[in-house]
Amino acid sequence: MALMESLVRVLASEAPRHNITQIKKVKLTVGALTHALPDALRFAFSVLREQPLFAPGAELEIEERKTRCRCRDCGADFAVEGNLGFLCPGCGGFAVDIIQGRELQIDYFEGD
Amino acid sequence: MQIKLGQNLLGANGVIAGEIRRLMEEKGIFLLNLMSSPGAGKTTLLEKTLTALKDRLRLAVIEGDVATTKDAERIARLGISVVQINTHGACHLDAAMVRDVLPAFDLDSLDLLIVENVGNLVCPAEFDLGESMKVVVLSTTEGNDKVLKYPLMFREADALLLNKIDLLPFTDFHLDELADDLGRIHPGLPRFDLSARTGEGMERWIAWLLAQVEGHRRR
């Protein structure tokens, strides 16, 4: 809910700058590591879209991103299944950088 | 019309955290973000840690709590400057909450400021408070599954305190399993097995923390 309130704050300041009075759609990218559950986000959005900033029935699209890491030793780029296993499957190295999965981003919004 | 933003939802938090980090650097203060699930023993651990350090460092505490002031009262009894933040239901502290209470402290006369975050292993890991270091407390009574269930918290942490080791014989907690799981999530994570209640293992943790604070000050 706090995340969605943050979303509303961002949109409430951005929409007037683009002369948009009613938002019809918002697209988010949500990484697996953030623990932001898409269903919970959708529920929170369904409550918050009742306010005048949003058109009736405004839509929320969520693109989910899996966790990916890159090994600092051998450079391998690998997916981390179910948030586990931050060890490089190539060389067994553990100095890895998370390169995907921490996103919590508003990609765009649409409206009139 | 479609408006591209590409903006991080927590972007505003990150900006404020950056301001806090710069301010702490300027004042030479080590900001410690202490996190755990509810009941892991954070406040008792904090009381013992503060007692051990209060003659050696200038200390203050920010207590995060959903609704009560119980923890802050416990810290204030030690004669340590403490400010309570009630989150009114929010499950974590954010950078703005921390920034807003900083004027309550004399920042020119502090070495170590400890933030006791709200008891929760999920959201606090996501919110940068501008801290110098994140420490997570896990207790033997919580079971072994926490590390794998909340990997981000254990991945983000700079140290792990395993509390309540005095209760090991009465639990199903396995130290080997903890070591294996940490090896998958965060190999090399400094870990201190201790009991805040009995004091066992506390010295190693205190010495390590002191070294971190002093190392930070010399930078």
Domain that holds residue B70: 2-218
Residue of A nearest to B8 (CA): A105
Least Cα distance to B126 among B161, B89, B158, B91 occurs for B91
Q: CA–CA separation, A106 vs A41, rounded Å?
A: 13
Least Cα separation, residue B24 to chain A (angstroms): 26
Would residue B79 be called left, alpha or beta, if left means φ above 0 and alpha means ψ between -120 and 50 degrees? left
Per-residue pLDDT at B134 exceeds 80: yes
pTM over cut 0.95: no
pLDDT band at B90 (very low <50, low <70, confident <90, very high): confident
pLDDT band at A37 (very low <50, low <70, confident <90, very high): confident
The three-state secondary structure class of B158 is coil
Per-residue pLDDT at B45 exceeds 90: yes
pLDDT band at A2 (very low <50, low <70, confident <90, very high): confident
Residue B3 has its nearest CB partner, among A9, A103, A108, at A108
Q: What percent of chain A has pLDDT over 90?
A: 56
How many domains, chain B?
A: 1
Q: CA–CA separation, B2 vs A24, rounded Å?
A: 10
Residue B2 has its nearest CB partner, among A83, A85, A108, at A108
Per-residue pLDDT at B219 exceeds 70: no
| A21 part of contact set with chain B, CB < 8 Å | no
CB contact under 8 Å between A28 and B9, yes or no, is: yes
Residue B148 has its nearest CB partner, among A10, A84, A106, at A84
Given this model, what pLDDT does residue B23 score? 97
Which CATH number goes with the domain that contains B114? Answer: 3.40.50.300
Residue of B nearest to A88 (CA): B184
Q: CA–CA separation, A84 vs B68, rounded Å?
A: 35
pLDDT band at A9 (very low <50, low <70, confident <90, very high): confident
Contacts of A86 in chain B (CB under 8 A): 151, 155, 184-187
CB contact at 8 A, B48 and B114: no
3-state DSSP percent of chain A in helix, strand and coil, to 5? 30, 40, 30
Residue among A106, A107, A109, A112 with most chain B CBs within 10 A, to mutate: A106
Given this model, what pLDDT does residue A89 score? 86
What is the three-state SS of A16-53? HHCCCCCEEEEEEEEEHHHCCCHHHHHHHHHHHCCCCC
Alpha carbon A107 to its chain centroid, in Å, reads 8
Residues contacting B180, CB < 8 A, separation 6+: none
Alpha carbon B78 to its chain centroid, in Å, reads 19
Residue A109 has its nearest CB partner, among B3, B10, B91, at B3
